[in-house]
Chains A and B, each alone.
Chain A
Amino acid sequence: MNFRSIRAIYIFEMSRFFRTLLQSFVSPVISTCLYFVVFGAAIGGRIDAVDGVSYGAFIVPGLIMFSVMTQAVSNASFGIYFPKFIGTIYEVLSAPVNFLEIVIGYVGAAASKALFIGLVILATSLFFVDIEIIHPFIMIFLLLVTCISFSLLGFILGIWANNFEQLQLVPLLIITPLVFLGGSFYSISMLPKFWQVVSLFNPVVYLISGFRWAFYNNSDVSITASLFAIIIFTVFCIFIIFLIFKTGWRLRP
């Protein structure tokens, strides 16, 4: 394993994040405050506690997952698409590195950024609601794996995209709806029976449910199913990236 190369890619990618640190920090803080004002205070006041948890506290895990997933995809896809767009990808492709080292560098940086945002949202939430984390290790594990797996997905999108429109298209049309409908702001059990069954085909449901379980010990699906889903999803993304580098698809003509 060429750790120096991984380190170089990671530091170079993170430097983009640090250049816009204020924006990276302020943006999730403001959006979290807005969510708490709208969902927590305005609407949440009219909603009963969900499974014994106040609505304001209930939405915290979903809110974190929502931001982590979208930010991970967005950071990772931009992280690899931008070098493709401006042509600097030539350097990475001609360097003595294998696919795993490239992925660890780029995805590691994107996942770190998403993790930072997730933690900022969690910290901001503490100002609005009382939060208890019953299973902290599972919570940390799920948060980390979600950051990594969605960064892997973003990495694939960044390689696939041929223009900025395509780069925005999949997150906008597929990922954001899946995350919104994945129980970020509600429990699946609140839905009519038919839509509960439909929701089970949404992989994001398993991630948010598992994450909420780590906080409050209650979930829409079993924690085992959640852990299984996230691991399968991560392995699947790694396999796709392996195939991309093996065939050179969209990278090496």
Chain B
Amino acid sequence: MTDMLSITGLSKRYNDGQVALENVSFDVKEGEILALLGPNGAGKTTLISAVCGLVVPTAGQVTVGGFDTRSNYRLARSLIGLVPQEIALEPFEKVINTVRFSRGLFGKSPNDDQIEIVLRQLSLWDKKDSKILQLSGGMKRRVLIAKALAHEPRVLFLDEPSAGVDVELRRDMWKLVSDLKSQGVTIILTTHYIEEAEAIADRVGVISKGKLILLEEKKALMKRMGRKKVEISLQSPIAVIPAKLQNFDLYLSDDGLTINYLYDAKASSNEITKLLNEISISNLQISDLKTSQSSLEEIFISLIEEPSK
């Protein structure tokens, strides 16, 4: 697959001296879904804005579909669809007109069939003649997505698409993203919802204080950094962990009914077998056993916290 988006040494320092991006470089392949995670003010929106032409970068180069976003901005931008974080819509305009406007603005010929497809895809067809101000918050977000898709972009930027939307819309959006991916559309999304990145992204990037501190395949990242946990539920509570089990990395729940064991997911040892043997020898009666893997959220938090330690 070819690179659809290529960012090299992108930096942005605002006039007030604030450094929003510092030497960020990465590529995104055609049809790939990249999730950018990071705390508020990390530089995620500035990154998207710099690519889309809303912010003038201080340094660096961005190409979209091989076209430089500054020297060949017309061709580069015509490939991009942007769904902004804030709901920004003309309140008195009809849904269909605002979507038609977006298509025309990006230089595409009028095509109401295409607009109908997009509106139906987003369950907005019934609302096509409604004024924006008559719509709910979730519907308005759907309109923003419809506007971004009206000119059939090859790269879609979703800036915090799930902020303030209900579960149904979030699921619909994930399905839409999946459909777009199958059509070869490249998707870059920023999110606070780790489960979103976990559910739909191919790769995950983490931005902190304007720097890209990590960019990795989601599965590889979870395998590399994820820790597994075994929760051993006991039939009767205990006050302390027996001495024989002290060699294991265990901690006891407050009610004394659960022993938690954390271990490295990639480690291939027989520690669990040993632990269970020791529990048996210690005459502890197990009522249940549950394993879980640390989520992307936990990985993300550990990555963000590390540099400050």
Where the two chains meet, the residues of A that have a C-beta atom closer than 8 Å to any C-beta of B are 2, 4-5, 7-9, 11-12, 15-16, 19, 83, 86-88, 90-98, 248, 252-253
Contact = CB atoms under 8 A, between A and B. Distances in A.
A94 B53 contact: yes
B53 A87 contact: no
B92 A4 contact: no
B77 A96 contact: yes
B89 A253 contact: no
A11 B104 contact: yes
24 contacts: A4-B104, A5-B105, A7-B104, A8-B100, A11-B101, A12-B101, A16-B92, A86-B89, A87-B86, A87-B88, A90-B54, A90-B82, A90-B84, A90-B88, A92-B105, A93-B53, A94-B53, A94-B80, A94-B82, A95-B77, A96-B107, A97-B74, A97-B105, A98-B74
A87 B104 contact: no
B97 A94 contact: no
Interface string B86-118: 101111110001101111111111000000000
B14 A91 contact: no
A8 B56 contact: no
A88 B89 contact: yes
Contacts of B93: 12, 15
B80 A12 contact: no
Interface in B101-155: 101-109, 147
Contacts of B74: 2, 96-98
B206 to A, nearest CB: 24
B190 to A, nearest CB: 15
B73 interface: yes
B75 interface: yes
Contact of B97 (A5, A15, A248, A252): A15
A231 to B, nearest CB: 30
Nearest to B78: A96
Contact of A91 (B75, B97, B102): B102
Contacts of B101: 8-9, 11-12
A18 to B, nearest CB: 11
A97 B88 CA distance: 20
Contacts of A86: 88-91
B276 interface: no
Contacts of A95: 77, 105-107
B55 interface: yes
A8 B111 CA distance: 13
A2 B106 CA distance: 9
B259 to A, nearest CB: 53
A248 B98 CA distance: 25
B15 interface: yes
Most buried by B among A2, A9, A92, A94: A94
A91 B56 contact: no
A253 B77 contact: no
A86 to B, nearest CB: 6
B204 interface: no
Most buried by A among B53, B92, B100, B147: B53
A22 to B, nearest CB: 15
Given A90-B84, A96-B78, A253 B104 contact: no
Contact of A252 (B56, B77, B90, B147): B56
B15 A96 contact: no
A70 to B, nearest CB: 23
Contacts of A90: 54, 82, 84, 88
Contact of B88 (A8, A11, A88, A252): A88
Nearest to B20: A253
A8 B105 contact: yes
Contact of A253 (B15, B88, B103, B147): B15
A253 B109 contact: no
A195 to B, nearest CB: 44
Contacts of B98: 12
Most buried by B among A11, A88, A95: A95
B24 interface: no
Contacts of A98: 74
B52 interface: yes
Nearest to B101: A12
Contacts of A83: 90
Most buried by B among A16, A93, A98, A253: A253
A87 B84 CA distance: 10
Contacts of A5: 104-107
Nearest to B159: A90
Contacts of A92: 105
9 nearest CB pairs, A to B: A8-B104, A87-B88, A96-B77, A96-B74, A94-B52, A96-B78, A12-B101, A8-B105, A95-B105
